[in-house]
Amino acid sequence: MRKFFGTDGIRGRTNSLPMTADMAMRVGQAAGAHFLRGAHRHRVVIGKDTRLSGYMMESALVAGFTSVGMDVVLVGPMPTPAVAMLARSMRADLGVMVSASHNKFADNGIKLFGPDGYKLSDADELEIEALMEASPRLAAPAEIGRARRIEDAPGRYIHAAKQSFPENLRLDGVRVVVDCANGAAYQVAPAALWELGAEVIAMGVEPNGLNINEGVGSTDTAALRAKVLETRADIGVALDGDADRLIVLDEKGQEVDGDQLMALIARSWHRRGQLRGGGIVATVMSNLGLERFLEAEGLTLERAAVGDRYVLETMRARDFNVGGEQSGHIILTRYATTGDGLVAALQVLAELVQAERPASELLHLFDPLPQMLRNVQFQGAPPLELDSVQRAIAAGEARLNGSGRVLIRKSGTEPLIRVMAEGEDLGLVEEVVEEICDALRKAA
């Protein structure tokens, strides 16, 4: 079992274990040592989002990597997919993103990418954890690494993202409200959309270190909805703090989640002969409505564990090129090695331009089954295995009686138990979820 790494890197409250400067330096030393392979000069690319603690964590990582002999390239605030792309294009041995994604500013995290731009395997993370608990392999004085900052990283990423948009299309006349969550994409996302011709109304583009994901972004779309309606925009695009996930709002302010977006892209790519694998990969959380829609299109839905890394592992193992999560992580391996909110948004916008139909008609491809998700907080050991909880889960499954499903899992990034149920009858789904949550609360 991994001690520090969760489903998406290492994450926690800043200045509390495991998210301390000392821990970040140890991560740098351990990951650096793990990737010191071959006789070439080794290099790591480090990016971050806009939260205040990013300065501290970035500096600690630089100290760790350089102390074991690895050179560092700093790119500043950049989306997670940009760091993955730059690590690969710059022939780096490793990429690091300092971000807690959709969490509030008080949290931070460390995500690691290999030289191929993909997130590390469980095996790599276990080896790095072992090195973190051992004495560091410090470099000789003459072999200590150097650090430099590059200024053109935003332009490089904007160019790469635009390459995913069809060359024969423009966004002229399309009014787009883009919400950057006061996060990593606050510069690059509005710029890319403007360069493609869109009329851009940007919000969530005034980061101050404390306001990332605060009332903005893909996890809180109320302000975006108001702006879309106020400006009579054609579409609203919401990114999260590190811009690796996307939620869309149509011109009526109705939210479009990752399941609907995957359905749109899969159908389009399938009809153009660009879809590989005969379907898509999603997680156990994706709605049964998506599965039924894909079946009607002659496509399959492969389910993976929650976490975009597990989606990607399944995609690579079975040669799929579209996958993602209901929460908005959309992975399009034709263009990126990880979830990329901007690239996914450009695919949606391309469909909008070509269809010449309102987003409200284009983006709602299936009726989702009633689904409810609730979180129950706990302290100490998760109470999932207690008899009272197991009885409540079994009772809920029996009540759904084959017409739906129950999914209970521990969050990989927070001390939460996530309780999800879906079925034909919304009232029954709500009752099942509340009964299981009540058992969990009592047990916790």
Q: Are 44 and 58 members of one domain?
A: yes
- Mean pLDDT taken over the chain: 95
pLDDT digits (tens, 9 = 90+) for 368-386: 999 999 999 998 888 888 9
Confidence label for 150 from pLDDT (cuts 50, 70 and 90): very high
Beta pairing class for 199-203 and 175-179: parallel
pLDDT digits (tens, 9 = 90+) for 222-250: 999 999 999 999 999 999 999 999 999 99
Q: What is the CATH number of the domain that holds 398?
A: 3.30.310.50
Stated as kind and residue range, the H or E segment containing 246 is strand 246-250
Residue 291: per-residue pLDDT: 94
Residue 379: per-residue pLDDT: 86
Peptide bond preceding 18 in cis form (omega within 30 of 0): yes
> Quick check: is 49 in a domain?
yes
Name the burial class of residue 384, with classes exposed (0-12), middle (13-18) and buried (19+) by CB atoms within 10 angstroms of its CB: middle
Closest CA to 246 of 227, 230, 229, 265: 265
- The CB density around residue 401, as the number of other CB atoms within 10 Å, is 9
**Domain extent at residue 396:** 371-443
Q: Are 82 and 185 members of one domain?
A: no
Residue type, 409: R
3-class SS string, 195-227: HCCCEEEEECCCCCCCCCCCCCCCCCCHHHHHH
Model confidence pTM above 0.85? yes
3-class SS string, 358-418: CHHHHCCCCCCCCEEEEEEECCCCCHHHCHHHHHHHHHHHHHHCCCEEEEEEECCCCCEEE
pLDDT at 181 over 90: yes
Q: Are 14 and 36 members of one domain?
A: yes
pLDDT at 402 over 90: no
Q: Are 333 and 381 members of one domain?
A: no
DSSP secondary structure of 13-27 = ETTBTTBSHHHHHHH
Residue 403: per-residue pLDDT: 79
> Quick check: is 4 in a domain?
no
Residue 16: per-residue pLDDT: 97
- Out of 296, 331, 364, pick the residue that ends a domain: 364
- The count of domains in the chain is 3
Residue 401: per-residue pLDDT: 83
Distance CA 94, CA 118 (A): 10
Q: Are 121 and 268 members of one domain?
A: no
Q: What is the CATH number of the domain that holds 33?
A: 3.40.120.10
Distance CA 172, CA 232 (A): 16
pLDDT digits (tens, 9 = 90+) for 107-148: 999 999 999 999 999 899 999 999 999 999 999 999 999 999
Q: Are 189 and 265 members of one domain?
A: yes
Q: What is the DSSP letter of 4?
A: S
Confidence label for 307 from pLDDT (cuts 50, 70 and 90): confident
Q: Residues 277, 247, 255, CA angle at the centre, nearest 5°?
A: 110
> Quick check: is 5 in a domain?
no
Q: Which residues are known catalytic residues?
A: 101
| Helices 426-443, 387-400: crossing angle, 10 deg rounding | 180
Q: Are 140 and 271 members of one domain?
A: no
Q: Are 319 and 214 members of one domain?
A: yes
Q: Are 193 and 337 members of one domain?
A: yes
What average pLDDT does range 293-302 have in this prediction? 97
pLDDT at 412 over 80: no
> Quick check: is 234 in a domain?
yes
Residue 228: per-residue pLDDT: 98
Residue 382: per-residue pLDDT: 84
Q: Are 143 and 240 members of one domain?
A: no
Residue 202: per-residue pLDDT: 98
> Quick check: is 24 in a domain?
yes
Phi, psi values for residue 142, rounded to 5°: -75, -10
- Out of 364, 389, 419, pick the residue that ends a domain: 364
- Out of 151, 177, 199, pick the residue that ends a domain: 151
> Quick check: is 1 in a domain?
no
Q: What is the DSSP letter of 328?
A: S
pLDDT digits (tens, 9 = 90+) for 82-97: 999 999 999 999 999 9
Residue 10: per-residue pLDDT: 96
Q: Are 235 and 272 members of one domain?
A: yes
Beta-strand (E) ranges in 60-120? Answer: 71-77, 94-98, 107-113
> Quick check: is 400 in a domain?
yes
**Percent of the chain's residues with pLDDT above 70:** 100
Q: Are 209 and 169 members of one domain?
A: yes
